[in-house]
RNA sequence: AGAGAGAUGGCAGAGUGGUCGAUUGCGUCGGUCUUGAAAACCGAAGACUGUAACAGGUCCGGGGGUUCGAAUCCCUCUCUCUCUGCCA
């Protein structure tokens, strides 16, 4: 959520940012916010004055009672009636204005960073760099959904039986390579100075709101009605929310956390072409890195996270590219996002495996995540990134490393897997 | 799941209607002392809102009520703890 004073003082910059996102009705929305804000402050002021008068009267009455002057006290009491009615009315008005204001504010996305390219869709994203060599496959090479059948390492039909489509069952070397990847990713993050955490994988509504999944992406999360809990779509939610309503001592910054969790996504309406096999699932595994930074350091941190993710891909010997998402393709809460995509040799296309974002104060404002720096209370910057999401990594390892004899495991994973080939 | 107890400032823990934003202890920060530290002593310190700055207003789990006045009384919700039950 954007900060009200920021909108008030930077109206033009906010509008420019919203236009970059192709946010509809930017002018009308911002005008509405500013009008409501003015109303809010006027009403607040009037209410405060009324309450101040009431407080003064109550004090007087107390003093009169103490002095034993009952008649004067009763007279003063009579005078408070009108104040009482007025403060009640004003209070209700104020509350309604605040509700209305909040309702508009939550519909406004974050303002893109100046480096975010113009554009409407994924086609307009900027390719920052490309790294690694795309392998040329032998005659008869297959996409990963054929390979997993051939080697019997993932069973989708079995998953359908016990849960439904998009819930695969990993078996044998398929299960073991999952475990290997998770451990590899966690170990690499630990080496980079992250603290490992294991958060809950269901969260309450406050947490969903804190990181911006609610109310924006309500329909994308599985919901446990009985207990009013959401299954997490990403570890970003529980890990970032560890710091909700927290005032961090300056010495604790920056916070660097890493966590492995399963992730659950309903993916309502997004099924269709390009979703075969591991390309899109309802449940998948991911190792997530989360950082909380002082504002002036957040962009350096973002670059560092990008390099960390790239390092993982290099160690896995996967050809990848880095995209800077354009205004129209960025997530609701993000100010700047890098997507990392790996090359899927058999599908002949790029697959997103990581998304690294700086949210600046957008999440922190909802979370009330602050720190007192140089005597001033201020919102911190939150960042996160996948490091990494497993399914598409596995897909590209299978496809890129396939040989007529089997699939070669990347060297760095062999100690984790305990085998060199899937055959 | 059943019964009971509770929710107060970073933590612990007082406060049952009128200068209570709140006693006290620990912790934190500053100072005195010390070569330095510890101890001791002295002092400082909540958050939000609001203002040009003051002032003012709000906050004792959330919401509602009683009252001129609520941390304190009433209702309600949520959560936590203890015991019993169940269980990886």
Measuring from the CA of residue A227 to each C1' atom, give the nucleotide at the shortest distance: B78
Residues with CB under 7 A from strand B: A 4-5, 41, 44-45, 47-49, 51-52, 54-59, 61-62, 65, 77, 80-81, 84, 247, 370, 372, 377
Distance A252 CA to B1 C1' (A): 42
> What's residue A320's pLDDT?
97
Please name the nucleotide lying closest to A377, CA to C1': B47
For the CA of A76 and the C1' of B82, the distance in angstroms is: 49
Residue A322: its pLDDT value, please? 98
Spatial distance from the CA of A249 to the C1' of B12 (Å): 21
Name the nucleotide with the smallest C1'–CA separation from A228: B78
User: Tell me, in Å, how far CA of A291 is from C1' of B54?
Assistant: 39
Which pLDDT value is given to residue A270? Answer: 65
Residue A62, CA: closest nucleotide via C1'?
A: B18
Nearest nucleic acid nucleotide to A49, CA to C1' distance = B56
- Strand B: positions under 7 A of a protein C-beta atom: 18, 47-51, 55-58, 68-69
d(CA A139, CA A103): 57
- The sheet carrying A283-293 orders its strands as A126-131, A320-324, A336-344, A349-360, A381-389, A283-293, A255-264, A195-196
Which nucleotide has the shortest C1'-to-CA distance from A375?
B45
**Nucleotide with C1' nearest the A81 CA:** B68
Residue A271: the pLDDT is 63
How many Å from the CA of A81 to C1' of B74? 22
Q: Output the CA angle A301-A303-A307, nearest 5 degrees.
A: 115
Angle between helix axes A70-105 and A26-67 (nearest 10 degrees) is 160
> In the prediction, which pLDDT does A273 show?
57
Span CA (A81) to C1' (B13), Å: 39
CA(A306)–C1'(B49) in Å? 39
The distance (Å) linking the CA of A59 with the C1' of B19 is 9
Query: Given this model, what pLDDT does residue A33 score?
Result: 95
Which long-range contacts (C-beta less than 8 Å, at least 24 apart) are formed by A56-64? A57/A83
- For residue A315, the model assigns a pLDDT of 98
Q: A376 preceded by cis ω (within 30°)? A: no
Cut 0.90: pTM above it: yes
Instruction: Tell me the CA–C1' distance in angstroms for A115 and B51.
Output: 37
Scanning every strand, the nucleotide with its C1' closest to A84's CA turns out to be B68
C-alpha neighbours within 13 Å on the C-beta side of residue A345: 24
B55 C1' to A206 CA distance, Å: 36
How far does the CA of A294 sit from the C1' of B39, in Å? 38
Nearest nucleotide over every DNA/RNA strand to the A76 CA, judged by C1': B68
Contact indicator for A219, A268 with CB cutoff of 8 Å? yes
pLDDT values of chain A reduced to their tens digit, one per residue, 423 residues: 899 999 999 999 999 999 999 999 999 999 999 999 999 999 999 999 999 999 888 888 888 877 777 778 888 888 888 888 888 889 889 988 998 999 899 999 999 999 999 999 999 999 999 999 999 988 889 999 999 999 999 999 999 999 999 999 999 999 999 999 999 999 999 999 999 999 989 998 888 988 998 887 888 899 888 788 899 999 999 999 998 888 888 888 899 999 999 999 998 766 665 678 899 999 999 999 999 999 999 999 999 999 999 999 999 999 999 999 999 999 999 999 999 999 999 999 999 999 999 999 999 999 989 888 877 888 999 999 999 999 999 999 999 999 999 999 999 999 999 999 999
């Amino acid at each position: 959520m954007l900060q009200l004073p920021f909108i008030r003082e930077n109206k033009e910059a906010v509008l420019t940012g919203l236009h970059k996102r192709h946010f509809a009705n930017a002018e009308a929305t911002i005008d509405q916010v500013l009008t409501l804000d003015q109303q809010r402050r006027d009403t607040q002021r009037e209410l405060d004055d009324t309450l101040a008068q009431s407080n003064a009267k109550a004090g007087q009455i107390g003093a009169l009672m103490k002095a034993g002057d009952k008649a004067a006290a009763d007279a003063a009491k009579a005078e408070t009636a009108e104040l009482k009615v007025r403060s009640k009315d004003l209070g209700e008005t104020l509350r309604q204005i605040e509700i209305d204001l909040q309702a508009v504010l939550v519909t406004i996305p974050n303002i893109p960073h100046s480096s975010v390219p113009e554009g409407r869709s994924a086609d307009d994203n900027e390719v920052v760099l490309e790294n690694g060599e795309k392998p040329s496959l032998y005659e008869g090479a297959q996409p990963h959904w054929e390979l997993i059948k051939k080697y019997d390492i993932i069973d989708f039909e079995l998953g359908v039986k016990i849960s439904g489509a998009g819930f695969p069952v990993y078996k044998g070397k398929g299960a073991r390579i999952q475990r290997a990847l998770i451990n590899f990713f966690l170990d690499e993050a630990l080496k980079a100075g992250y603290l490992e955490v294991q958060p809950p994988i269901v969260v309450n509504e406050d947490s969903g709101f804190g990181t911006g999944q609610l109310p924006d992406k309500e329909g994308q999360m599985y919901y446990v009605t009985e207990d009013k809990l959401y299954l997490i779509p990403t570890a970003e939610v529980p890990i970032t929310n560890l710091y909700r309503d927290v005032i961090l001592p300056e010495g604790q910054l920056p916070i660097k956390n890493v966590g492995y969790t399963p992730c659950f996504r309903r993916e309502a309406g997004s099924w269709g072409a390009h979703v075969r096999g591991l390309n899109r699932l309802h449940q998948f595994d991911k190792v997530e890195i989360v950082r909380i930074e002082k504002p002036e350091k957040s962009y350096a941190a973002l670059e560092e996270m990008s390099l960390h993710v790239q390092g993982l891909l290099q160690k896995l010997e996967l050809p990848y590219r880095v995209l800077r998402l354009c205004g129209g393709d960025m997530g609701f809460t993000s100010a700047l996002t890098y997507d990392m995509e790996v090359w899927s040799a058999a599908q002949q296309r790029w697959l997103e495996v990581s998304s690294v974002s700086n949210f600046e104060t957008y999440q922190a404002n909802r979370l009330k995540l602050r720190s007192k720096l140089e005597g001033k209370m201020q919102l911190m910057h939150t960042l996160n990134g996948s490091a990494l999401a497993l399914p598409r990594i596995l897909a590209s390892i299978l496809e890129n490393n396939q040989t007529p004899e089997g699939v070669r495991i990347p060297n760095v994973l062999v100690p984790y897997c305990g085998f060199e080939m899937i055959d």
